Amino acid sequence: MKTLMPSETVLEGKWGLLNGKMVGDETTIRINQLITSTLAHVATSEDGWSNLYRDPSDGRYWEHTYPQGEMHGGGPPKLQVLTRDVAIKSYGRRVDI
């Protein structure tokens, strides 16, 4: 799996049809791998639709969301860097844990 590069700040997955089934692209697969095996979970939003992670290699905060609310399940995933200040504003003091 490709680790996160310092130059990366946003990863946006896409869905497409394959043999009549909706499947995620390589970025979707990578996001899922990153949140399950590389990034450390820090907090979940109050509504449960977004999660905050921290990259142990560089300390950056990453927010995992499903920004296409009009699609089933919120659509494909997005992983985006947040500053510490924005993370605290969005997730509260749990960020400092």
pLDDT along the chain (97 residues), means of 10: 90 84 87 96 91 96 84 77 93 73
Whole-structure pTM value: 0.86
Q: Is residue 3 part of a domain?
A: no
Q: Is residue 2 part of a domain?
A: no
Which pLDDT value is given to residue 71? 53
pLDDT at 22: 74
- Domain assignment present for 89: yes
Amino acid at 15: W
Q: How far apart are CA 84 and CA 77, in angstroms?
A: 21
pLDDT of residue 72: 55
Domain range for 83 is: 10-96
Q: How many domains does the chain have?
A: 1
In a domain, 4, yes or no: no
CB 8 within 8 A of CB 2: no
